[in-house]
Amino acid sequence: MKLRNYNVNPALVVIDVQNGFVSKGGSYDLLGMDTSNYRQVIPRIKELIDLCRENSIPVFYTQAVRESSGIDLLTRTHKILPKSREERIMKKPICVRGTWDADIVAEVAPRPGDHVVIKRRDWAFHDTEIKVWLSSLGIDTLIFSGIDTSICVETSLRDAFNLGYDVVLIADATISSNRKHYESTIDNIKDYYGLVMNLGEFSGYIPQSQMNPIKKNHASQLRPRHQVQSKVSV
């Protein structure tokens, strides 16, 4: 694939689109957090995933999990945590392994041939298999989407950059609960790490010969969607 003036071998990384963070009845919802922003971006993430699958771009999901015993909670390893984060941890276990809460939301669920990376911290590369898997496929460029833009998405993207990958953020296929944090991440990536583009622009780099006729027409109609500000900060 040629991305701007560069020949790249990309993979898509979809960060933490899980019931516990996104869905009604999930942990964040039960904690009283406004998750409507997260839900609004799911259709765009689905379009991006579908585009990549149809054009043989590997799709990797990260899935944040915790153990029911609490052995891997941040409060066991950190004496100093932001009060809001510590309070959430103490109130309710989030995305416990094997529960609906931890599952990736049904609208964008993995399919055979996709890859799911289990992670326990904010970034995709910490004690996970993803680097080995990417290497085995000869991947040199990572396309990022998912939630939360300014937390796990940005942390994973920065880490990927420092590990030697070229990085791209699809700006309308990611979102933060805080508009200022979202905009700050966009600026940071543009200035220091890689490319930021919307799905419509990204689809324009897919060779038209690779796209089926229906998707060609659909891709030409893609337009950026505005991010919506939430009242809740995480």
In whole angstroms, give the CA distance from residue 42 to residue 21.
12
Q: How confident is the model at residue 220 (pLDDT cuts 50, 70, 90)?
A: very low
What are the beta bridge partners of residue 116?
Answer: 61
With a cut of 70, say whether residue 194 has pLDDT above it: yes
Token readout for 208 is: 């038209």
pLDDT per residue as tens digits for the range 142-185 = 999 999 999 999 999 999 999 999 999 999 999 998 999 999 99
Q: What is the Cα Rg of the chain in Å?
A: 17
Q: Is 3 helix (H, G, I), strand (E, B) or coil?
A: strand
With a cut of 70, say whether residue 139 has pLDDT above it: yes
Q: How confident is the model at residue 6 (pLDDT cuts 50, 70, 90)?
A: confident
- 79 belongs to the catalytic site: no
pTM for the whole thing?
Answer: 0.82
52, burial (CB in 10 Å: exposed 0-12, middle 13-18, buried 19+):
buried
Identify the active-site residue in 29, 152, 172, 215: 152
Max CA-CA distance within the chain? 56
Q: What is residue 67's predicted lDDT score, i.e. its pLDDT?
A: 73
Contact in structure between 177 and 38 (CB atoms under 8 Å): yes
CA atoms within 13 A on the CB side of 86: 9
In whole angstroms, give the CA distance from residue 120 to residue 140.
24
Q: Which residue has the higher pLDDT, 30 or 226?
A: 30
Chain CA centroid to CA 78, Å? 25
Q: What is residue 89's predicted lDDT score, i.e. its pLDDT?
A: 57
- 148 belongs to the catalytic site: no
pLDDT per residue as tens digits for the range 67-85 = 765 555 655 565 555 666 6
Lowest mean pLDDT segment, chosen from 100-114, 122-136, 169-183, 206-220: 206-220
What are the chain's domains?
A: 2-220 (3.40.50.850)
Chain CA centroid to CA 48, Å? 11
Token readout for 131 is: 């680097």
With a cut of 70, say whether residue 222 has pLDDT above it: no
- Please identify which residue in the block is written with the tokens 């990260």: 62
With a cut of 70, say whether residue 28 has pLDDT above it: yes
Q: How confident is the model at residue 114 (pLDDT cuts 50, 70, 90)?
A: very high
Helix 36-54 / helix 213-220 crossing angle, nearest 10 deg: 140
- Please identify which residue in the block is written with the tokens 């060609």: 216
Q: How confident is the model at residue 215 (pLDDT cuts 50, 70, 90)?
A: very low
Identify the active-site residue in 119, 166, 172, 215: 119
- 52 belongs to the catalytic site: no
Chain CA centroid to CA 4, Å? 22
In whole angstroms, give the CA distance from residue 62 to residue 11.
13
